Each structure stands twice: as structure tokens, then as C-alpha cells.
Amino acid sequence: MKIVHPDKWLPCDGISLEEAADTAVRCSDRHVLVVAGPGAGKTELLAQKAAFLFQTNQCREPQKILAISFKTDAAQNLKERVEKRCGTDIKGRFVSMTYDAFAKNILDHFLYALPDELRPATDYLVNDPDIIDAAFHCAGFKNPNGFTQSRLKTEYDDILSRISLPLTGDGLGHKVWPLLLKGFNGNKATLTFKMIMMLAMYIIETNPYIKQALQMTYSFVFLDEFQDTTAIQYAFVKECFWNSGTKVTSVGDNKQRIMVWAGAVKTIFNDFYRELNPKCIRLIMNHRSAPRLVALQKAMYESLKEKATEVCASGNWAEDDGNIALFIADNEQLEAAAVSKDILLKISNGVEPHDICILCKQKPQDYASAIIEELEKHGVRARIETGYQDLIKEPIVDLFIKFMICADSRKHPNEWTFIEELLVELWGISGIQGSDTFDEMQRKLSAVVNIIKNNIQQKFDTEQWHRTLNSIIDFLGIGNIKAKFPAYKQGAYFMDLINQFENLFFEEYVAAHGVWNLAIENFRGDHSVPIMTIHKSKGLEYNAVYFVGLEDSAFWNFRNQPDEDRCAFFVALSRAKTSVTFTFCKKRTGMRFPTQRHNAINEFFDLLQRPGIAEVKYIQSF
């Protein structure tokens, strides 16, 4: 990697940064707080900043950059962008992971820095609900309030995270912790993610040499989606890096804070500013949405208690680009017909189905079933992504898909190279062993791929598919996979993923009538309209977005959490590039209260019905 003077550095890949973003990228001697709205290019900013720090030697070898995200796929996406821009020279020096993964990494690496009474068994499980429930009952918990299992899980998590370390009290949490740390009554040791973070924080608090080593390793830290940071996550990262030479860059947007229910700190931006006195930078460019959609987003600022700023659309749009609509339907059949007709029109105009998204505040199956059926009549598939979205992001599933693509055809050099490089790592093949070992690995890979190719050409049933998938796993080596991806060591997690993938992929294979490449494409969602909740859409973007169910029953808790629900509405409308449509349905069958209203959330309707904002269409039966 060629080192350049900071004044001579240019953004990678010919990307042009707005002035504020360029300032944030080049600031290396102070903490930085970047307030960036939807479509501002937060991920690209962090990738460019990493490139700047490496390529100008502001992050000197062997020091590293640590990037912390909330989602595994977001962390992987950022890592891939940085490696693409900087090449293999920085391999291993840009560490991108989630808060949970970072905490677990510290706990596992420095396990023996804990005193014996706080040291979990080395083969501990993570978040096993049955063992956690058994531990509480073993400690005398009787569920006096009659909580459901879902509510109990939250209650257990709260009780376990309210204690302080070391364990000195005698409350319920103090009785359960030792059981979960060491195992009990034949049950393995089991930790929740919050327990893992608490233990990792305790290691840092009580071991100054480990803390110093951590700070010397990471000269820069990036915190993405900063608005969703919880109290324990903030305390953890503070313990690790505050009052040190490590420079922290936080990027987020208060208007997209939709995780308050999960403990997100409402004052997080003010806290960061008060404690670190960072350079504050606000990005004003929205690179995603058309001008009319940006205008709608700006109109939301007052209700979100945000200062009006000169957020503007990219210069790639015409001034009047963008479509906003509100469909008011008498019933869900009419709603489905109107939405489907609009989707079909967009597809006929060249929009790919996977670039159209249907969003729901909650329970997509309750709000989108009629639309799924209506689209199916016209040969368009719409799929609720609940079972697929997280699964597709799993490293082992990504590996399976790449393996099966190569088995179908050798005309995929990127996938083939990916598998070869991963095999070298999984099998521990080093340059010292010479080319013969590598050639042997390639021969074995070709042999197993040919066997799979023969299997898929002959078509198969569930048993044959089960054997085919197991042959891939055996070839890679379960031990090798778990060594590469430590999360798969935890209990039944790995086998649960395998079973989910096996079942879902076979369903796609049957639906594709045994056409292998089509089954792969369908599994990835290449040809279907995705349907998901607003929370699952965070960080994604689509040409067109349909928000189905702008109704009080969907925002049932609005009066108790108006700010969070306003943020959810904002996130929904800001996923769209060119078109966003909201629907209100007067009657929904199957609901506890079929008649729908919008009294509680009437401010959303008032906003959409302002002059010049949305086209209102009444979908009525005659």
C-alpha cells in the first residue's frame, strides 16, 4: 500500500464527498460526532475514513481500526468496503464486528483474567432459553405475575443485568448468576449477551494491562448507528476507550432511533458531546431519495423535535422527481388489488421485484397476506422475509450458496476463488507446505463439486438433498467451520441453522421445479418482493416502498411511545428512492377489532394530506 501525504489523499474509487463528509474523513486528531440522516452515505463515510487513516499512515502499523455495528451484515458490509478500497495490505488491521461479538471476543480471549467465582466454564452456551428458565426455577423463582414465556425472557434479562460485579448480594439475580456461570443439575453453563458484556467490562475494569493493550491495539474506533446504543453498550465502550489516545468517530441519526424499547439511550448524542468534546459534523446531502421524498422527510423534523436543516437531495434528480401516495381502502381486498396493480405497473416499467419492498409496523402476515395472494395471481412472488433475512446473512449459509453456485457451473470465478481461499484457511494450508498441498486441495474440491453436480442434474428428494448438504459439511469439516466462526460452537445454534437452511432451500427447489440455479436465486430473493417489519428494514433501500397498515392498531402503543413510533414512520418513508405509498384500510378481517381507525396517529395523515405532499386515492367498492 502506497503511503501518501494527507493533503494529497483523494477518496477511493473516484467517489466525491460533500464538504462536511470530507472534513469528517480527514479529522484524525480529535473525536468526531457525525449526525447523518437517511441516505447520507454513513457506511461509505466510514469506509473512506478507514482508507484515509491507513493510506496516510495516521493509523500506523501494527495499530488497528475497530468498527462496531449493530448487525452482523452491516459489520461485514463495512469490512468488505474497506478491504476493497485498501486491498490486502490492511488485512487483519480493520476489525469490524457487533457489540456482542466484540464483548465475547474479549471474554473468550481473557477468560482467565476473571476470578474463579466469575469465570464461566469454557464451553458455555449463549442465550439457551430453557437452561436460563431452569436456573431461575432452581433459584426459587415461581413466576408470581404469570408472565408469558416472551415476557419472562425480558424479565430474566433485566434481573440478570441489574446486578453488579463482583457478586456480593443475595437477591434472585445473585443466586442465578453462579448457576449460569458454572452449570447446574446436568445443564451446561449459559450466558446471556448482557452477561457476556458485563464480564468483558469487568475484565477491562480490573486489569489495567489488558485495558492498555486494547487501547494500544486500536488507535481509532468507529461506532455506527450510534443513536441505537444501549446504556450497557455505551458503558462498555467507555470503559474500553475513554480517556485514552484512541480517537472515536460516532455516526448516527436521532431521527432513526427506533430501539428505545431495547434500551437505546435517548441522550446518547449529548452524552458523547459532553464527555469527549468531539468535532461535530452534520451531513446535509441525501444521496438516496428523490427531492419530493426528501421534502417529506424534512416535514417530519418538527414532530421528531429535530432542528430544521438544509438537507438536500443529490443533484442527480430533477426538482419534481419522486412520488408519494396515500391509499385509503374500504377493505383489504381492495387494498391488495390497488397495491398489486401499482407494483405490477412498476415491474412493467423495469423495476425489479426485489427493488420493491412492502413494510409493516408489525406482524406482516396479518397485513400483507391478501397482497401476496393478489400478486401471485399475476405471477409475481412476494415473500415475508422473517425466515430468510437473518439466515441468508449467516457465513455458513453464504458459503453453502457459493458452493452450490460452483456446482451448477464453473463460470463463477469470484465464488470459486472465495471457496479456495476459505479452504486454505479452514484446512490450515500454509505457503510452507508448497504447491503440491494446494493442488491436492483443488483436486479434492473439484471431485466433491463434480459429485454434487451429478446429484443436482438427476434431481433429488428430501433424503438425497440431506445427504448432499451433509457431504458439503463433511468436506469442509465441522471442527474447521466452528474454529473459523466461534459463534457456531454455542449449543445447537449451528445445527439449527443447518436445519433451517435445509428446509427453506428444499422448499425453493420444489417451487422452482428442480431448476437448481432458479432455486438459488429464489432463495436469495432475487425474483420476489420482500415483505418485512420497519425494524428489519433498517439500513436497507428500495426503489419503491409500500407501507401497509397506517392504522392505530399497528401503532397500538403510540400514546406510550410517540417519539419512537414517529421515528419508525420516518425510517419507513426514508427507505424509498423514488416512490413511497402508505395504505389505510377501513376494515381488516381476522383482526381482534376489524374496524380500523387513525385517531391516535392522525398527525401522520395530516402530514401526508398537506398540499403538495401526497396523492390521496380512495379505493372504494360500489
pLDDT tens, residue by residue, 472-505: 999 999 999 988 887 787 778 899 999 999 999 9
Determine the pLDDT at residue 309: 67
Of 61 and 411, which is predicted with more confidence?
A: 61
Determine the pLDDT at residue 262: 65
DSSP letters spanning 334-363 = HHHHHHHHHHHHHHHTT--GGGEEEEESS-
Residue among 490, 455, 485, 488 nearest 469 (CA)? 455
> Could you give the CA distance from residue 332 to residue 503 in angstroms, rounded to a whole number?
31
> Could you give the CA distance from residue 35 to residue 252 in angstroms, rounded to a whole number?
5
Q: What is the pTM of this model?
A: 0.87
Strand order through the sheet with 615-619: 381-384, 528-533, 356-360, 542-548, 576-585, 323-329, 615-619
Non-local CB neighbours of 386 within 8 Å, separated by 6+ positions: 364, 532, 536
> Could you give the CA distance from residue 246 to residue 31 in angstroms, rounded to a whole number?
9
> Could you give the CA distance from residue 167 to residue 289 in angstroms, rounded to a whole number?
51
Non-local CB neighbours of 261 within 8 Å, separated by 6+ positions: 561, 564
Report the share of the chain in percent with pLDDT over 70.
97
> pLDDT band for position 259 (50/70/90)?
low
Q: With a cut of 70, say whether residue 217 has pLDDT above it.
A: yes
Determine the pLDDT at residue 622: 63
Element (H, E) at 196: helix 193-206
Mean pLDDT along residues 227-245? 95
* pLDDT one-digit tens code per residue, 36-76: 888 889 999 999 999 999 999 999 999 999 999 988 888 88
Q: With a cut of 80, say whether residue 387 has pLDDT above it.
A: yes
Q: With a cut of 80, say whether residue 15 has pLDDT above it.
A: yes
> Could you give the CA distance from residue 368 to residue 336 in angstroms, rounded to a whole number?
8
Determine the pLDDT at residue 460: 84
Non-local CB neighbours of 425 within 8 Å, separated by 6+ positions: 484
Determine the pLDDT at residue 439: 87
Dihedral of the CA atoms 551, 257, 388, 376 (nearest 10)?
A: 30
Determine the pLDDT at residue 431: 59
Mean pLDDT along residues 192-221? 97
Q: Angle at the Cα of 276 (from 274 to 281), degrees rounded to 5?
A: 85
* pLDDT one-digit tens code per residue, 513-551: 999 999 999 999 999 999 999 989 988 999 999 999 999
Q: With a cut of 70, say whether residue 119 has pLDDT above it.
A: yes
> Could you give the CA distance from residue 390 to residue 304 in angstroms, rounded to a whole number?
30
Distances (CA, A) of 119 to 122, 177, 189, 232, 388: 8, 11, 10, 20, 36
Determine the pLDDT at residue 434: 60
Determine the pLDDT at residue 261: 62
Mean pLDDT for all residues in the chain: 91
Non-local CB neighbours of 111 within 8 Å, separated by 6+ positions: 119, 120, 122
Mean pLDDT along residues 577-587? 97
Residue with cell 417489519: 533
CB 289 within 8 A of CB 322: yes
Determine the pLDDT at residue 580: 97
Determine the pLDDT at residue 258: 63
Q: With a cut of 60, say whether residue 432 has pLDDT above it.
A: no
Determine the pLDDT at residue 308: 60
Q: With a cut of 90, say whether residue 176 has pLDDT above it.
A: yes
> Could you give the CA distance from residue 564 to residue 548 in angstroms, rounded to a whole number?
18
> Could you give the CA distance from residue 131 to residue 46 in angstroms, rounded to a whole number?
40
DSSP letters spanning 541-590 = -EEEEEEE--STTTTTTTTT-HHHHHHHHHHHHTTEEEEEEEEEESB-TT
> Could you give the CA distance from residue 21 to residue 276 in angstroms, rounded to a whole number?
20
CB 541 within 8 A of CB 256: no
> Could you give the CA distance from residue 306 to residue 256 in angstroms, rounded to a whole number?
11
Identify each DSSP E strand in 338-430 by its residue range: 356-360, 381-384
* pLDDT one-digit tens code per residue, 321-361: 999 999 999 999 999 999 999 999 999 999 999 999 999 99
Residue 122 burial class via C-beta count within 10 angstroms: exposed 0-12, middle 13-18, buried 19 and up? exposed
